[in-house]
Structure 1
Amino acid sequence: MVEIADRLADVGGVVGVCLGGSRARGAHSPDSDYDLGLYYRPPLDIGALRLLAAELTGEPVEVTEPGGWGPWVDGGAWLTVDGHRVDWIYRDLDRVHRVWEQCLAGRFEIGAQPGHPLGVYSHSYAGELAVGRVLADPGGELRTLRERTAHYPEPLRRALVDNARWEAPFILTGARKGAARGDSFHVAGCLFRAVGVLVHALHAHDGQWVLNEKGAVRAAGELAVAPTEFAARAHALFSALGPAPAALDDAERLAAEVITAVHDTAGD
């Protein structure tokens, strides 16, 4: 992948390339994708990317313009190179810098994005660099930013914990109203959102980045601060979706335990 990354770095607009996902963490299987983050500044030479993609795969490949996949995962391409799946994923580097400044100030936002049912938490941009592996970085900018993101910001940690303290009980109250109406769709959405908020709080308490929903509940359950059998209990909430009061009772107990476990980071 280093050779591909070096060639990508020669494309106009590309500042550097970072390996992400399970392969960067060393948690991959033999058939795992190679996720390559293309950190760029406009204008990005899409024509050159298309030519390189066709050369690597031996056939024309759809390579999007920036914004082609949505507002947060804002474009790229899916390739198969020598039998391996290789994903190019755009990242506007100036936006990454702005998000990092927000993290330092204890601010975050959640954006709608296809493929991310919980939404994209803005600080995942910083987390991607923190846990990723820089493959190409001619100017050294990615490595410098990666060194900064290695230290989880205390203001962000407090913000995510504080958010869980009010949002989890609030949304579960809304779920009870949906259950009273027999609105299983609304109840399921509330439960999913509540668990997601708790997962982010647990990770923040431990200074660990959450990049997306995949595997996040399991990872949260492995943290020292997590309530007993957190992952199993969280997954059990979705085993029989419906407006069942018992599931909401379980969800409220789980939320209370997480809030108690992380309350010391809220500045009380």
Structure 2
Amino acid sequence: MAEHPASAPMVVPADAPPVVEARGVATVFGKGRDAFTVHDNLDLTVRRGEILSLVGGSGTGKTVLLRHILGLTVPTRGSVTVLGQPATRLGGEGASARVGMLFQHGALFSAFNVLDNVAFALRELGTLPDDVIVDAALVKLRMVGLKAEHATRMPADLSGGMIKRAALARALIMDPPLLLLDEPTAGLDPSSSDEFCDLLRELHAALGLTVIMVTHDLDTLYALSTRVAVLAERRVIVSGTPQEVARFEHPFIDHFFLGERGRRAMAQPAAERPKEA
């Protein structure tokens, strides 16, 4: 990935206020003999300005944790707060104004064109004239590298990279301070993945975003993360910079970070990695 001097990520102060706090979270699905515990006494703090990557094996509850942060699901025990408020209040106060979500495959509405997808949350508010909404949507499209001519296209007519960009514009339409990314570069070819990482780095710095990202892609992780949290054994077993986490002794970490792909990703030029706090 080429160095991108104009988009160096923010340095996160050690005393930056928390944006997300999970304390003693337990998540149990089912009852009795059919009960399945996903999280047990999970703690996690995400501070303002971080790009935190969540990694873990299949079934460790990464996406479930994102749903707790969005307020879509409630832990069996424990608490999750977002911007100082219980995450469960997000729905009532307008989640999209506080948290933007980029889904793995974009999740654009297939019956809407790109402009209508991006403008959806503003139109749902019902407080702005449509010409203002259209202008705001076009600004966000330009922000993610799409042109006005793309606004009238349908999702089926977009490339994978363009779908990701349109979905990102939709996630940012309400200028939320917190952005959640679920496998942001999944399905993209290496060149498109590099370009999307550059875009995310630019937006993180320019908008002062706090980002929580679920990813299995080590190149993306090393390119963007200021911190990594590893989910295993039903909790966060370690968090720190990618380099710190890679030194933690655990079978998953050995396999994920120290295999051939991990060593290759770790060897990328230091100039391309986020600055540590």
Normalising by structure 1, what TM-score? 0.28
Normalising by structure 2, what TM-score? 0.27
The structure, 1 or 2, with the larger RCO (C-alpha pairs under 8 Å, 6+ apart) is: 2
Structure whose alpha-carbon radius of gyration is higher? 1
More helix by share: 1
